[in-house]
Amino acid sequence: MKQLFLLIFIVEIFTACLSTKQYNSKIKAKHAPEELKRDLDIIKNSLEEAHPGVYWYISKPNLDFKFDSVKNLLTDSLSSIEFYRMIAPVVAAVKCGHTRLVYPGIKLSNSQKDSIKNEGKAPLSQLYYFVDNDRIYVPFVNDRNFIKPIKGAEILAIDSVPSSEIIKQTKRLFSSDGYNKTFYNQVLDQSFAAYYYLKYTRKDSSLLTLKKADSTYNYYIKTIKPQKRKEKPKILSAEENKKDKEQKKLANKIKNRNRYKGIDSEGKSILNLSYDSIVNNTAIIKVKSFSFDHSNFHRFFRESFKEIKEKQIQNVILDLRDNGGGNLMSCNLLFRYLYNQPHQYTGRAYIKNLNFENSKYLDDPLFYKVLGKVFYPSFWLASQILTRKDSIGKYTYILTGRSIKPKKYVYNKNLTVLINGYSFSATSLLSANLQQVNRGTFIGEETGGGYNKCTAGSIPFLVLPETKLKLRLPLKVIQTVKQRLLEGRGVFPEYPVEENFIDVLNKRDRYLEKARELIKVNSR
């Protein structure tokens, strides 16, 4: 058996080197119309055969028309990125936030990555953005002096293209769930530069037309190279050297001790328990993701709610803003600490077809493909045992599809929940379950994910053989047990809060202000 695994490993390494070269040549090359049409057919057929919600928000004739229209335009050779720009809006028309076309770019070695890093940061990747419908603002910049004049300005145009047109075009490359609109702005807040460069060509400099107060002006922003600081090595005494090592050891120990809480891009904890400095007897639990490396949700929730119970905290603010979702069991675990009755978290996980024709293009490592072929009969048998059928269709077993009891340190006092447009996927499902049992007062804006259902659960990537673009394809329906009549919308707050650019610029948190106001009123 050891020899088999070693052989598989060697073959995988050798094949990977060859496939990387072939893959990169495919990404860079121009593809003939016939090749593009083959990839287009794979996208269309895969959606039809495997996507369980492909026609929830668009009719089959309408979607067929969009694919046929694009197919008729494929008369010239196109590069992979050019093909992406044509097809991504068609995939987005399905209106499923988990379904999208991905342009992966070429594969790079570590030395190539270092070389690109040394070339510097792309112009638009240097800024932070706040997108408000068809307007773009820059509330923050980094500490480099030469881009500080951009801080606090509105971007009217980039390279003479109006911001309203840029936003319109970039929003066509992805989708929220159903008819929701709040998700789009939040995605561009976090990933504006990435989507801009997918739609428009990346250049070493960009001309920004800016407006600040009543002044309109132009500003060139250029690629910046990382600054290499030459520092003279400090000569430490034996005692100082020992102390320095001890401090570094302590810092690493603290870092490793807390890594189960995660660290976001700003260096803040993904999971965090704090106590409000303004309203007494109030805890704030921040959960920014339900899936990240080295996470331990069981430990964090157990420790947090045990501490809250021991301190007899009367008010908890659960901050789910900017939480794009993650593991279904993790968000169900949090629910069990917030509701004191047994509860079935999800309904039946309906599927369309797990073994569809184009599954041969799934983006699986060679290691698993080999094992899959060796042990395929047992995999097939397991899938058959776990699959059932009712009057609606086929469904499969899901861990959250049964009634589960609350946890020992369940919190049953005053709960306030903060949500926004980037509260998506599993986070929307958590919010919907809490609303169904009247648990919590919701503040903010409509969640980007659906209230009733979404397609997720198992989300493989299909690699298109010609262009090497990837189709992100969810295979299961994840839904709440009790559903409302309003389809294609997210979880609505009882107290809407609209964030504006001035608030972001001044770092004013209207969500938290509203939560404090309501807690004070309820405490009287």
Specify the residue for token string 């058996």. Answer: 1
At residue 356, the pLDDT reads: 84
Query: 31-40, 76-85, 142-151, 492-501: which has the minimum mean pLDDT?
Result: 142-151
Do the strands 271-275 and 441-444 form a parallel or antiparallel pair, or are they unpaired?
unpaired
At residue 253, the pLDDT reads: 62
At residue 13, the pLDDT reads: 46
Beta strands in 213-267 (DSSP E): 215-222
* 460: alpha, beta or left? (left if phi > 0; alpha if psi -120 to 50): beta
At residue 20, the pLDDT reads: 76
- Which whole number is the average pLDDT over 63-67? 98
Percent of all residues in the chain with a pLDDT value above 90, rounded to a whole number: 70
The segment(s) of the chain belonging to CATH 2.30.42.10 are 121-222
- Which whole number is the average pLDDT over 143-169? 90
**pLDDT confidence bin for 25, thresholds 50/70/90:** confident
Percent of all residues in the chain with a pLDDT value above 70, rounded to a whole number: 84
In this predicted structure, the answer to whether residue 509 has a pLDDT above a threshold of 90 is yes
In this predicted structure, the answer to whether residue 410 has a pLDDT above a threshold of 90 is yes
Mention every residue, 6+ apart, whose C-beta is less than 8 A from residue 4: none
Compute how many other C-beta atoms are within 10 angstroms of the C-beta atom of residue 264.
12
Query: 126-135, 155-164, 216-225: which has the minimum mean pLDDT?
Result: 216-225
**pLDDT confidence bin for 108, thresholds 50/70/90:** low
At residue 119, the pLDDT reads: 57
Give tens-digit pLDDT for 286-339.
Answer: 999 999 999 999 999 999 999 999 999 999 999 999 999 999 999 999 999 999
In this predicted structure, the answer to whether residue 6 has a pLDDT above a threshold of 70 is no
At residue 132, the pLDDT reads: 93
Give tens-digit pLDDT for 221-239.
Answer: 988 776 655 555 666 677 7
Give tens-digit pLDDT for 158-184.
Answer: 999 999 999 999 999 999 999 999 999
Per the prediction, the chain carries an average pLDDT of 88
Give tens-digit pLDDT for 341-390.
Answer: 999 999 999 999 877 888 889 886 444 445 444 444 454 455 566 788 99
Cα separations (Å) of 30 from 41, 69, 106, 146? 18, 21, 14, 39
91 compared with 141, residue with greater pLDDT? 91
At residue 230, the pLDDT reads: 55
- Which whole number is the average pLDDT over 136-161? 87
The segment(s) of the chain belonging to CATH 3.90.226.10 are 250-347+398-449+494-523
At residue 143, the pLDDT reads: 61
- Which whole number is the average pLDDT over 402-423? 97
250-347+398-449+494-523 folds as 2-enoyl-CoA Hydratase; Chain A, domain 1 (3.90.226)
At residue 10, the pLDDT reads: 47
Contacts 24+ apart (CB under 8 A), 270-279: 270/295, 271/295, 271/297, 271/300, 273/300, 273/303, 273/304, 273/307, 273/308, 275/313, 276/317, 276/516, 278/516, 279/315, 279/516, 279/519, 279/520
Q: Does domain 121-222 have CATH number 3.30.70.260?
A: no
Contact 351, 396 (CB under 8 A): yes
What is the reported pTM?
Answer: 0.88
In this predicted structure, the answer to whether residue 118 has a pLDDT above a threshold of 90 is no
Q: What are phi and psi of 464, to 5 degrees?
A: -70, 125
Contact 454, 426 (CB under 8 A): no
First to last CA, the chain: 70
